[in-house]
Structure 1
Amino acid sequence: MRAYTFTENGYTFKRINKKQARQAYSNGLTVRFCPCNLRPGSPFRLDMDINKINQNCAGETFDSIVNAFEQYNCRDSETGKYTAFYIPVETVDRFTGETPTAGTLGTVEQYAYSYMEG
């Protein structure tokens, strides 16, 4: 897996592996799907946000959604043969969970929960 991050609408998205994406989806978080050879936000717009709370994904398993996505979008060597997964992340103070300041002792990267509100 190639490490890749990108910024869109003020949110930073980080590429994660399939196991992490399955856990995020199971916990009700939004995961962005994109064919592995394309970059999210490209003019072709084959990327899509998946959340099990959405009406179109309710009752579907993670694997069935991935299989359907790959069947229609990951067909050749140009787009790639598998799905890449991305989640929005933000850096926060590791002790308070708030935006880091000059006096912050350490930071940690976590899911950007504000992305689901927007």
Structure 2
Amino acid sequence: MHKIQVGGFIRISKREAERRYNAGETIRFCACKLSPVNIWGCFCDCKRETLSPIASDGFNTVVPRNREFDTLVNAFRFYNCNGEMGRYPAFYVKMEG
């Protein structure tokens, strides 16, 4: 995986995203062909302590009442990933500094 930095976010692997999510950090989910900072893109910020919506527009389906990382990934993938936007989610975190 290439090191991608976009608009103050850095892309991380799924394994690292799960580790950071379980540690309480906020992880940005985004379809792999989209930018994590584009207002028209479908992304969501997920944190273990809060129930996160699947998309940031407020109209899409809400994540099931489960805070497990794999459940969030599967729900995001089902509702937001397709041939046009990307078939799998990419994970981003805010860069420090």
Aligned counterpart, 1:19: 15
TM-score, length basis structure 1? 0.66
SS state of the match for residue 79, structure 1? coil
Q: State the superposition RMSD in angstroms.
A: 1.7
From 60, 71, 80, give the equivalent of 1:64.
71
Identity of aligned residues (%): 37
5+ residue gaps, structure 2, are 53-62
SS state of the match for residue 49, structure 1? strand
Aligned counterpart, 1:98: none
SS state of the match for residue 90, structure 1? coil
5+ residue gaps, structure 1, are 92-118
Residue identity matched to 2:27: V
Aligned counterpart, 1:107: none
| Structure 1 position 48 matched with structure 2 position 55 | no
Structure 1 consecutive aligned stretches of length 4 or more whose deviation exceeds 6 Å:
none
Aligned counterpart, 1:29: 25
Q: Is the 8 A contact 1:5 1:15 kept in 2?
A: yes
Report how far residue 2 of structure 1 moved. Answer: 3.2
- Equivalent residues in 2 for 1:73-84, closer than 5 Å: 73-76=80-83, 78-84=84-90
Structure of greater Rg? 1
Report how far residue 13 of structure 1 moved. Answer: 1.0
Q: Is the 8 A contact 2:51 2:67 kept in 1?
A: no
SS state of the match for residue 96, structure 2? strand
Report how far residue 35 of structure 1 moved. Answer: 0.1
